[in-house]
Amino acid sequence: MSQFFVSILIILLGGFSAIVLAQHLKSAKFITVFLVCAGCFLGLMDAVTKLVQSGTYVASYKYLNVFSLDFQMDGISAFFLLVIFAISLIASFYSYHYMGHEKNAVKTGANYFFFSILISAMALVVTASNTITLMLSWEIMSLSSFFLVIYNHHLAENRRAGYLYFIFSHVGAMFIFAAFAMMYSYTGNFEFGPMDAIPDAAKILIFIFSFIGFGSKAGVFPFHIWLPHAHPAAPSHISAVMSGVMIKTGIYGIVRMYMLLDFHTPIFGTILIVAGAVSGILGVVYALGQKDLKRLLAYSSVENIGIILIGLGVGMIGVSSGNMPMAVLGFTGGFLHIFNHSIFKSLLFMGAGMVLHKTGTCSIDSLGGLLKRMKITGTAVIIGSLAISGLPLFNGFVGEFLIYMGGFKGIALENSTFIMGIIAIISLAVIGGLALACFTKVIGVVFQGEPRTKAAEDADETGGTMLISMSVLAGACMLIGIFPQLIIQLPIKATVALGLKFDPILFDPILQITKNISFAAMIFAALFLLVTGIRFFLYKGKTITGSGTWGCGFTQPTVKMQYTGSSYASFILDFFSPVAPLEEEHVNITGRFPAKTHYRSQVNDIAELYMNRVIVNPVLFFFDKLRWIQHGDIHLYIGYILLAIILLLFFI
Amino acid sequence: MIKSIILWLLAILLAPFFSAIILKIKAFFGGKKGPPLLINYYTLIKLFKKGSVYSTSTTLLFKLGPIVSLCSAITVLMFLPIAGCQPIFSFNGDVLFVLYALGLGRFFTITAAMDTASPFEGMGAAREAYFPIICEAATFMILIFFYRLTGELQLSAYFTGSHTLGLWQSAGAPLVFIVFAFFIILLTENSRVPVDDPATHLELTMIHEVMVLDHSGPDLGLIEMGSFCKLFFYSTLVSRLILPFGSNITGLSFGLYIIGLVIVYVAIGVTESAIARYRMDKVPQFVLTSFALAFFATIITMEFIR
């Protein structure tokens, strides 16, 4: 594993040099970006080779002579490392020009410092092979990303997002601690070893605890509340890494626990499918209701985590019901969607970053007409949107196709599996339709039409590394969409590494499916060329004139008359109003000469609404009564600690 | 294979003809003589001869809209078993591809509409994005039903040869539900009354028609062609379901298929003549009916057919 650790060291070195050389901003940025990219590239190569060779590699270090820091790289780790390093590589390349306008040298340096720590910590999380190492890396990951979220700490809103994230990641960590403590109480060691000693009921409880803990990092509904606040607050390349990669470490945790517990009950699959369906549908409904582009993308991550969970859940149900073809399709589809989502989500965040960079705003309803001014960004975002809507010719379709096939395999089985299959399929169908609505809103309102503000009108696109990063990702979306067989081995290797002893013959249908998808995509492309040719022929020698848009008889249109994102989404949100209550505020127009009025609307997240009502307010009330304990006298505080330790000694 | 390709070409060429039947039926109910049956060809030829006017707000996406929507419709026809014959292409899971290819067409129709900066087209686009979501859920429910019966996930397993008759034999009663559900989906997906009125005069009340307000000349012709093909696709599915009989004599099964198609188009015409378009907020309830029907049909198979 030495190559892995070398790459981590190079990344960290890059981060340190950003701090050390902060006074020479330009050169510091160049060195840092170069080192981080080089480290990520090295790690990426290592992960790919390890994944293809599908062996298991271990490394162990003693820490303080008490705890041993154990690392292990198997197929699952290598697959997640691949995603982490690939996206971090492109994101740090993107950051070179994105951070270019930054005047504050120390702030930029600190940002790169924590960014490098975040990348390393994510890599360590997915390679940790005992509970101590995992929790240590997990906490480093949470803390470093916390500092990245509060990058623009002068805004109160961002500080609030940071605190929210801080609390959520620690409450989540508490659940993971609880799960690990239960494991320890049965096995008596910290190793990720065999878990035969644990009774079945305890295994279920451990899984539920770790699902809550890891799920809160992944952004599973209803533990996602921090996500739409924290992700948009960070600089866009960080948002890309957080949304595209970091939340996947939560998924990794769930998969790892599933592997460790090695207990095949339908309960696990049911939990994942139901949680996935709820996260998926509600995530995209809230995304549709957002007015801020980056918040919309953050909610869409909740949706995609839902799709991934549905895929993994289908896999688990397949295993527990003994239907291995279903299991293989579900797991491979889920893993493939992890890979695909990291590509198109980071692409979309980078596009949003470019918009924010050039117009100074991410408010959807104050943009418009950007496609004419930002051709490459616009095209890249359109490709990303097509991919995230799961449409053929783009990569999102392939993963969803496999999950659908897995779900349909469940339809043929007995009742409980049948119902899970129905939930998986119907929710995927609804998510697909809603995602299409959500991302046509993004394209239609942000990139098409006429600019609604001066800022949108004056936008242009510069920043070579930003454009190259987006083009690379957009190209990957199309390439994988048309030729999925190029990368299908990666999720297959990850599925094999689950250690469920799948018969290699089970993977043949998947290879066949990728060939079919590729074939169908090429038919579509051929017909597209044919129709384009016919159109060209029909327009030969014709007069083509330009004119204003037909205003249905009205001759004085203004840009304000365009359909806004809010009105575009209102039809659908109305349908979902029980779960997405709309909050409106406006002054009614009265009299013949009405005064100026305003309108403000906001789609509320029910999880957030109820969290305030059910958890935050009672907890505040309770702790308000305990305020007398906190009086500021340090002597008594030390007394508390002593008392607590003495009391605990009775229990050991 | 050659036969399938010929049928595919015939389907594209004949789709405008069948759509004219609807106009004829509506004229009959209105006590009028109606346009000739070849009216759609005259319209297409007229459109193809013209030039175009483009709004200055538009981009390349505006021109891609007609191309991709027609392209998705004719791609879908390639996977369609016409008159019970084998389709040109078929693979396990082709239904998913077909549904998502139609989604791709919809994506580009919507973006082409949003390209014009027109509030009317935005409104149409919002509705076009909304109703198919429910339709898609209903379609997948129907697929679950078919999968439950056949264990296959391709159109040719449901609609070729004697397969359709087999469906009726194994689950006749729930299949009646499915036929109605399919018909509702057909009306919704193809913007027919009572979901959308293709002949209305007020832009505010349109869905599909308002989205193509700014398209003109050959572009509009391509869009029209695409919607004829899409309607033909859905009508073929329903026609096979209501007249599932195959025959060894090619002519006979082909004749039966044509009769089925005519019945479906007449049914659309009668529906359009007999009922008015629903208020926009009632439409989702209407579309949800198809989901409910398909759902009940599936639940019935769960208990009674094993």
Task: Give CA–CA dist B38/B20, Å, rounded.
Answer: 7
Give the predicted TM-score (pTM) of the model.
0.95
Read off the amino acid at residue A228.
Answer: P
Backbone angles phi, psi at A321, to 5 degrees: -95, 5
pLDDT at A628: 85
Tokens of B47: 């459109």
Could you tell me if A44 and A85 are in contact, meaning their C-beta atoms sit under 8 angstroms apart?
A: yes
Structure-token match 């049914």, residue found: B267
**pLDDT tens digit sequence for A49-80:** 999 887 888 888 887 777 788 999 999 999 99
Tokens of A105: 């040298």
% chain A with pLDDT above 70: 100
Name every chain B residue with its beta carbon within 8 A of the beta carbon of A552. 118, 120, 203, 213
Nearest to A568 among B63, B122, B147 (CB): B122
Is A422's CB within 8 Å of B298's CB?
Answer: yes
Nearest to A315 by CA among A506, A515, A75, A481: A506
Chain A contact present for B203, CB below 8 A:
yes
**In chain B, positions 219-278, which contact chain A (CB-CB < 8 Å)?**
219, 221-222
| Chain A nearest-CA residue for B285 | A575
pLDDT at B49: 93
pLDDT at B171: 84
Q: Which helix (H) or strand (E) holds A559?
A: none
% chain B with pLDDT above 70: 99
For residue A484, give how far its alpha carbon lies from the nearest alpha carbon of chain B (Å). Answer: 14
Tokens of A405: 């096939």
Which residues are paired to A582 by β-bridges?
Answer: A603
Residue to test with chain A: of B110, B150, B223, B282, most A Cβ within 10 A? B110
pLDDT higher than threshold 70 for residue B160:
yes
Nearest to A100 by CA among A241, A230, A235, A297: A235
pLDDT at B64: 95
Distance of CA A357 to the CA centre of its chain: 22
Report in angstroms the alpha-carbon separations of A321 from A274, A404, A415, B152: 17, 17, 11, 20
Task: Give CA–CA dist A41/A3, Å, rounded.
Answer: 11
Task: Give CA–CA dist A115/A107, Å, rounded.
Answer: 12
Backbone angles phi, psi at B52, to 5 degrees: -135, 155
pLDDT at B198: 80
Alpha carbon dihedral A435, A441, A444, A447, in 10-degree steps, equals -90
Going by C-beta distance under 8 Å and a sequence separation of 6 or more, which residues neighbour residue A636?
none
**pLDDT tens digit sequence for A415-444:** 788 999 999 999 999 999 999 999 999 999
Could you tell me if A475 and A54 are in contact, meaning their C-beta atoms sit under 8 angstroms apart?
A: no
Chain A contact present for B141, CB below 8 A:
yes
pLDDT at A102: 65
pLDDT higher than threshold 80 for residue A228:
yes
pLDDT at B306: 55
Average pLDDT, chain A: 92
Backbone angles phi, psi at A603, to 5 degrees: -95, 120
Task: Give CA–CA dist A502/A496, Å, rounded.
Answer: 7
Please state the rounded mean pLDDT for residues B281-288. Answer: 91
- Under the banding of pLDDT at 50, 70 and 90, the label for residue A177 is very high
Could you tell me if A176 and A223 are in contact, meaning their C-beta atoms sit under 8 angstroms apart?
A: no
Nearest to A430 among B75, B123, B133 (CB): B133
pLDDT higher than threshold 70 for residue B134:
yes
The 3-state DSSP composition of chain A as helix, strand, coil percent (nearest 5) reads: 75, 5, 20
Nearest to A337 by CA among A314, A304, A313: A304
Is B67's CB within 8 Å of A562's CB?
Answer: no
Which residue ranges make up each domain of chain B? 2-304
Report in angstroms the alpha-carbon separations of B77 from A86, A403, B5, B130, B245: 39, 25, 10, 24, 21
For CA atoms B105, B108, B109, B110, the dihedral sign is positive
For residue B289, give how far its alpha carbon lies from the nearest alpha carbon of chain A (Å). Answer: 15
Return the SS3 of A321: coil
How many CB atoms are closer than 10 A to CB A508? 12
Residue to test with chain B: of A408, A431, A434, most B Cβ within 10 A? A408
Going by C-beta distance under 8 Å and a sequence separation of 6 or more, which residues neighbour residue B208?
B124, B128, B191, B196, B198, B227
Please state the rounded mean pLDDT for residues B21-36. Answer: 93
pLDDT higher than threshold 80 for residue B47:
yes
For residue A552, give how far its alpha carbon lies from the nearest alpha carbon of chain B (Å). Answer: 8
**pLDDT tens digit sequence for A79-123:** 999 999 999 999 999 999 988 766 778 888 899 999 999 999 999
Is A405's CB within 8 Å of B66's CB?
Answer: no
Nearest to A424 by CA among B162, B147, B284: B147
Task: Give CA–CA dist B91/B101, Å, rounded.
Answer: 15
Report in angstroms the alpha-carbon separations of A10 from A19, A41, A85: 15, 10, 13
Q: Between A304 and A29, where is the model more confident? A: A304
Which residue ranges make up each domain of chain A? 264-538, 606-649
How many CB atoms are closer than 10 A to CB B179? 14
Could you tell me if B156 and A487 are in contact, meaning their C-beta atoms sit under 8 angstroms apart?
A: no
Task: Give CA–CA dist B42/B54, Å, rounded.
Answer: 23
- Under the banding of pLDDT at 50, 70 and 90, the label for residue A559 is confident
Tokens of A179: 């799960």
**pLDDT tens digit sequence for B291-306:** 999 999 998 887 765 5
For the ranges A255-264, B141-150, B215-224, B244-253, which has the lowest average pLDDT?
Answer: B244-253
pLDDT at A413: 80
Read off the amino acid at residue A399.
Answer: G
| Chain B nearest-CA residue for A418 | B302
Q: Where are the beta strands (DSSP E) in A144-247?
A: none
Structure-token match 């008759």, residue found: B165
Residue to test with chain B: of A550, A567, A574, A575, most B Cβ within 10 A? A550
Per-position DSSP letters for B113-140, written without gaps between them: HHTT--HHHHHHHHHHHHHHHHHHHHHH
Q: Where are the beta strands (DSSP E) in B95-197?
A: none
% chain A with pLDDT above 90: 73
Going by C-beta distance under 8 Å and a sequence separation of 6 or more, which residues neighbour residue A219?
A227, A247, A250, A279, A283, A301, A302, A305
Task: Give CA–CA dist A159/A534, Å, rounded.
Answer: 57
- Under the banding of pLDDT at 50, 70 and 90, the label for residue A518 is very high
Nearest to A469 by CA among A90, A30, A87, A98: A90
Tokens of A9: 């060291």
Distance of CA A289 to the CA centre of its chain: 18
Nearest-Å Rg of the Cα atoms of chain A is: 26
Q: End-to-end distance of chain B based on CA atoms, in angstroms? A: 35
- Half-sphere exposure at residue A586, Cβ-oriented, CA atoms within 13 angstroms: 14
Nearest to A292 by CA among A466, A157, A390, A178: A157
Nearest to B57 among A421, A549, A571 (CB): A549
pLDDT at A284: 96
Residue to test with chain A: of B47, B61, B143, most A Cβ within 10 A? B61
Could you tell me if A233 and A269 are in contact, meaning their C-beta atoms sit under 8 angstroms apart?
A: no
**In chain B, positions 63-122, which contact chain A (CB-CB < 8 Å)?**
63, 66-68, 70-72, 74-75, 78, 89, 91-94, 96-97, 100-101, 103-104, 106-107, 110-111, 113-122
